[in-house]
Amino acid sequence: MATKTVFTTGEAAKICKVSQQTIIRCFDSGQLKGFRVPGSRFRRIPRDQLFIFMRDNGIPTDALESGKRKVLIVDDDAELVELIADVLERDGRFEVRTVNNGFDAGMMVKEYRPDLIVLDVMLPDINGKEVCQRVRSDRTTSDVKIICISGMVEEDRVSELRAAGADDFLHKPFEIERLVARMCQLLDMEPVSA
Q: How does pLDDT run across 8-20, given as a tens digit for each residue?
A: 999 899 888 889 9
Predicted TM-score (pTM) of the model is 0.67
Q: How does pLDDT run across 175-189, given as a tens digit for each residue?
A: 999 999 999 999 888
All residues at 6 or more sequence positions from 72 whose CB lies less than 8 Å from its CB, including other chains: 96, 97, 98, 99, 105, 108, 109, 112, 114, 116, 117, 118
Pairing label, strands 69-74, 94-99: parallel
Q: How far is CA 76 from CA 104, 133, 187, in A?
A: 11, 20, 24
Q: How far is CA 110 from CA 124, 143, 186, in A?
A: 20, 13, 20
Cα 120 from Cα 159, distance rounded (Å): 15
Find the angle CA(79)-CA(3)-CA(43) to the nearest 5 degrees. 80
Question: Length of the chain, please?
Answer: 194
Q: How does pLDDT run across 84-126, given as a tens digit for each residue?
A: 999 998 888 898 999 999 999 999 998 888 999 999 998 888 8
All residues at 6 or more sequence positions from 126 whose CB lies less than 8 Å from its CB, including other chains: 101, 102, 103
Average pLDDT value for residue range 150-161:
85
Per-residue pLDDT, 87: 92
Contact 47, 7 (CB under 8 A): yes
Q: Is the pLDDT of residue 3 over 70?
A: no
Contact 127, 75 (CB under 8 A): no
Is omega for the bond preceding 173 within 30 degrees of 0, making it cis? Answer: yes
Q: Is the pLDDT of residue 62 over 80?
A: no
Rounded to whole angstroms, the maximal C-alpha distance in the chain is 62
Contact 71, 96 (CB under 8 A): yes
